[in-house]
Amino acid sequence: MVRMAKQDDSLATDQWGFSTRAIHSQNHSSHEHGALNPPIYYTSTYGFESAEQCAARFSGDEPGMIYSRITNPTVQLLESRLANLENGEAAVAFGSGMGAISSLVWTFLRPNDEVIVDATLYGCTHSLVNHILPEFGIKVHPLDLTDPNNLKIYLNSNTKLVFFETPANPNMRLIDIAKVAETVKANCSAMVVVDSTYCTPYLQRPLDLGADMVIHSLTKYLNGHGDVIAGAAIGTNEAMTLMRKVGLKELTGACLSPMDAYLVLRGIKTLPIRMEKHCASATKIAAFLESHPQAASVAYPGLTSHPAHKLANRQMKLPGAMIAFEAKGGVEHGRQFMNRLTLWTRAVSLGDAESLAEHPASMTHASYTAEERKAHLISEGLVRLSVGLEDVDDLIKDLDQALG
């Protein structure tokens, strides 16, 4: 049985497919004067009909809007749709992916708690959990979670959070969500939280595999057009209530603007067809790179050479559109490759219509020291490619001439 967000059955049911839900779930034009697209509610606060209603809203006895840092109708629609697509009970939207992650850790962690994270994390997440949390008395264990057995030594009653990305940014390591969740739940009550930004719910739904919460940078594929900074967390009603009332309202204030929520809602409508195109092109590009004489290594879950290829087939609908590779000749050749690109844009971020190339060691993962990058399996010459929506033959020609 598919777990669905609470909703009006006349608007969305579990009989609908993913694409239909991406367009219609939780919204109906009859609610807004027949408007096909939801309105953008630009208001900071809301009026009440009586003092009694004020008290009921603030106590939580009556649902409704209070203040747009906490709830907003446009943002609320986005949250409902995300929860629906992830098969979660509820969601909270944030002003960025890091807003979601920082709200997560400050809501649920306290001094003397312990956290387990995977060895490879996005640069800012790495800085937060490995550099900042220990300053607040929180013990962090970075482990290689591609082998869930590594967890057993460190899981104990103080473990409150197990956090990882799959696929991991930037080296494309895959982690078995179901096995990690099973191992954690057999040993302690820690939350298992998965950053599934690379996949979106179209390719991978961690809650269905046993995770307790999913984190997304909505900036990436879910928005898909490179014009928004946003994030989200999806999980149980209880966890999301805490994230909203503690993490978002009182600790970080990382609220999402209604305009940005509207843009993400617009992007989600085309998510399935975009992901199909992204992944089809990435599959061709990865195969091209693997056969290229100037490519030293290529990491892409759709290649049989990827060590977790079978896991990708089992855990993901499609292998995604992110590729990590190294050119022969090391860092210098990699730098020359980056400078020769003409169609691919040298830029951070991912999931846009435009194809992007970046050098993690000097860009997104520069917050790691050289020693940390080595320990966390991020090589100095690694190049990360985000495959866009251009004609794939044009993208391949540009890669070919840049590899030279």
The CB density around residue 111, as the number of other CB atoms within 10 Å, is: 8
Distance, in Å, from the CA atom of 274 to the CA atom of 342, rounded to the nearest integer, reads 23
pLDDT at 292 over 50: yes
| Residue 4: predicted pLDDT | 37
| Residue 366: predicted pLDDT | 74
Amino acid at 399: L
pLDDT category, 374, cuts 50, 70, 90? confident
Residues carrying an active site annotation: 69, 122, 195, 220
pLDDT category, 373, cuts 50, 70, 90? confident
The number of helices, as runs of H, and strands, as runs of E, in the chain is 14, 12
Q: Are residues 286 and 195 in the same domain?
A: no
269, 298, 313 - which closes a domain: 269
* Tens of pLDDT, residues 257-285: 999 999 999 999 999 999 999 999 999 99
Would you say 203 and 209 are in contact if contact means Cβ atoms under 8 Å apart?
A: no
269, 299, 321 - which closes a domain: 269
Q: Are residues 77 and 140 in the same domain?
A: yes
Q: Are residues 275 and 127 in the same domain?
A: no
pLDDT at 136 over 50: yes
Mean pLDDT of the chain: 92
Q: Are residues 292 and 206 in the same domain?
A: no
Do the domain assignments include residue 13? no
What percent of the chain is predicted at pLDDT more than 70? 95
CATH number at residue 294: 3.90.1150.10
The CB density around residue 116, as the number of other CB atoms within 10 Å, is: 25
* Tens of pLDDT, residues 91-122: 999 999 999 999 999 999 999 999 999 999 99
Q: Are residues 67 and 80 in the same domain?
A: yes
pLDDT at 312 over 90: yes
Q: Are residues 129 and 160 in the same domain?
A: yes
Query: Which of 105, 60, 111 minimizes the C-alpha distance to 233?
Result: 105
Residues 6+ apart with CB under 8 A from 179: 148
252, 269, 286 - which closes a domain: 269
| Residue 9: predicted pLDDT | 40
* Tens of pLDDT, residues 78-99: 999 999 999 999 999 999 999 9
pLDDT category, 29, cuts 50, 70, 90? low
pLDDT at 402 over 70: yes
Q: Are residues 143 and 279 in the same domain?
A: no
Do the domain assignments include residue 378? yes
Do the domain assignments include residue 198? yes
**Strand, coil or helix: what is 217?**
strand
pLDDT at 63 over 70: yes
Which single residue is written with the structure tokens 């697509």?
85
Would you say 314 and 370 are in contact if contact means Cβ atoms under 8 Å apart?
A: no
Do the domain assignments include residue 7? no
Domain containing residue 310: 271-403
Distance, in Å, from the CA atom of 68 to the CA atom of 57, rounded to the nearest integer, reads 14
pLDDT category, 7, cuts 50, 70, 90? very low
Would you say 198 and 169 are in contact if contact means Cβ atoms under 8 Å apart?
A: yes
Q: How many domains does the chain have?
A: 2
Q: Are residues 109 and 219 in the same domain?
A: yes
Query: Which of 102, 100, 92 minimizes the C-alpha distance to 72?
Result: 92
Do the domain assignments include residue 3? no
Q: Are residues 69 and 200 in the same domain?
A: yes
Q: Are residues 340 and 249 in the same domain?
A: no
Q: Are residues 243 and 133 in the same domain?
A: yes
Do the domain assignments include residue 8? no
Do the domain assignments include residue 12? no
CATH number at residue 67: 3.40.640.10
Q: Are residues 217 and 329 in the same domain?
A: no
